């Protein structure tokens, strides 16, 4: 049985903080699936399909990572692909309560699924998709915050 981890999120867009988490967990599993939430309550800059392409391009150096779109509960997707571990990133203390609650809800509805919380690296802990969007909208430089493909895609979006 292969050991599959799922990293769910909005990824609107993928940042270097997300890339760092995926770089670090990919050696630990046979396969990592980055799962883009299709029905996020957040207003988004990119469509789920656009986000998927940007993730694929930002992670092309990792051979055991794939990207999928899903509309529903992460644990339902986990059953479908027979995955055991949900990975989430933890930045400041403010992430903690939400992540703990989600992990407990998921444990209740799918006891076989484990949540793995990975601490953000110190150089990325302040990076968020939301912050990156604010920066881009206000003309700030995005170097080091997102990959070059994402930087270019954001510039194109803001031109329209
Ligand atoms: P969601 O809307 O599900 O929070 P995000 O795309 O914002 O989706 O984040 C997905 C996951 O990545 C979350 O677990 C979040 O805490 C984590 N994350 C976001 N930014 C960073 C970062 N800079 N470093 C580490 N983890 C991060």
- CB contact set of 151 (below 8 Å; sequence gap of 6+): 142, 143
Task: Record the pTM.
Answer: 0.95
What pLDDT score was predicted for residue 79? 95
Chain center to CA of 118: 12
Look up the domain containing 145 and give its range.
4-159
Helix ranges (H only) for 40-122 are 48-58, 74-81, 93-109
**14, 37 Cβ separation under 8 angstroms:** no
Helix ranges (H only) for 8-147 are 16-25, 48-58, 74-81, 93-109, 129-137
**Number of domains the chain contains:** 1
What pLDDT score was predicted for residue 39? 77
CB distance 24 to ligand 1 below 6 Å: no
What pLDDT score was predicted for residue 41? 65
What pLDDT score was predicted for residue 40? 63
CATH of the domain at 62: 3.40.50.620
CB distance 89 to ligand 1 below 6 Å: yes
For residue 119, give the ligand 1 atom closest to its CA: 25
Atom 7, ligand 1: residue with shortest CA distance: 10
What pLDDT score was predicted for residue 91? 93
CB distance 145 to ligand 1 below 6 Å: no
What pLDDT score was predicted for residue 43? 82
For each successive 10 residues of the chain (160 residues), what is the average pLDDT? 93 98 98 91 88 98 97 95 97 91 97 96 95 95 96 93
User: Is residue 42 annotated as part of the catalytic site, yes or no?
Assistant: yes
For residue 87, give the ligand 1 atom closest to its CA: 14
For residue 68, the CA-to-ligand 1 centroid distance in Å is: 16
| Catalytic residue chosen out of the listed positions 10, 26, 58, 129 | 129
- Degrees (nearest 5) of the Cα angle 160, 13, 107? 145
What pLDDT score was predicted for residue 111? 97
CB distance 13 to ligand 1 below 6 Å: no
């Amino acid at each position: 049985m292969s050991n599959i981890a799922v990293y769910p999120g909005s990824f609107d867009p993928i940042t270097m903080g997300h890339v760092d988490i995926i770089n670090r967990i990919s050696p630990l599993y046979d396969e990592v699936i980055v799962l883009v939430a299709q029905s996020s309550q957040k207003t988004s800059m990119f469509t789920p399909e656009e986000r998927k392409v940007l993730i694929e391009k930002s992670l092309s150096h990792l051979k055991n990572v794939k990207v999928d779109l899903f509309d529903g509960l992460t644990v339902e997707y986990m059953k479908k692909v027979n995955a055991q571990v949900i990975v989430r990133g933890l930045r400041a203390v403010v992430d903690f309560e939400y992540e703990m609650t989600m992990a407990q809800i998921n444990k209740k509805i799918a006891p076989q699924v484990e949540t793995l919380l990975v601490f953000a690296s110190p150089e990325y802990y302040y990076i968020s998709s939301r912050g990156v969007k604010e920066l881009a909208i206000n003309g700030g430089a995005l170097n080091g915050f997102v990959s070059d493909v994402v930087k270019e895609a954001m510039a194109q979006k803001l031109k329209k």
